[in-house]
Structures are given as C-alpha cells and as structure tokens.
Amino acid sequence: MAAREHRYRITVEHIGAPREDIALHAPLTFEDGNHDDLFRIVDLQRGSGRFASEDEAAAFAIGLKLVSEAVLRNRDDPLLQQLRSPLGDFIRQLKAAASTG
C-alpha cells in the first residue's frame, strides 16, 4: 500500500545563544508527515526572491507547511479552527503570487 503522505524527520539544533551564560539545548528531532513535497516548496520559496537568504526562505516554507498541516489534522480544535480560513487565504495568495512571478 502506498503512503498517503510524505514522511519527514525534522531536526532542530541550537547552535548559538544571545549570551554566553545561556546553555545550548540538545537537538530536537521529531517525525511528521505532509501531503506536499517540502523540498519542492522550499525550492519554490528560495526561487521567489522574496527572502533575504535561502535559509530564511527554507525556514518560512517549512514553518508554514508544519503549521498548516497541523491545522488541517486538528480541524476540530476550536482554537485552531480560527486559523483555517486566514491561513487558507494566505496560502492561496502565496500560490497565486508564485504563478504570476
């Protein structure tokens, strides 16, 4: 049976702090799925020219996709329901900008 989503292992490493007296955290690793190919989405945002760096474009794309997928999966949560419509509108505008740019 084919997977219904792309699966990802996401790792966040704390590589610096604003002050020397702040201890760095151990890496945080978790797995999640998404209906979209995150690598394609990152490439699209990196190519958009919208961000100051490729890292900023990747952070935006990954963050947005993680949030939007969580909202979709938890559509019965009253707090997250408040995000569905504005998030959907934003993503449609983002896609439209990409197709015209």
pLDDT means per 10 residues, the chain with 101 residues, are 86 98 98 96 95 98 96 95 95 88 63
Per-residue confidence (pLDDT) for residue 3, from 0 to 100: 75
All structural domains of the chain, each given as residue ranges with its CATH number in brackets, are: 6-100 (3.10.20.850)
Per-residue confidence (pLDDT) for residue 2, from 0 to 100: 60
Q: What is the CA radius of gyration of the chain?
A: 16
Per-residue confidence (pLDDT) for residue 98, from 0 to 100: 82
Strand 28-34 to 6-12 pairing = antiparallel
Per-residue confidence (pLDDT) for residue 101, from 0 to 100: 63
Cβ burial of 44 (10 Å; 0-12, 13-18, 19+) is middle
> Quick one: the chain helix, strand, coil %, rounded to 5?
50, 15, 35
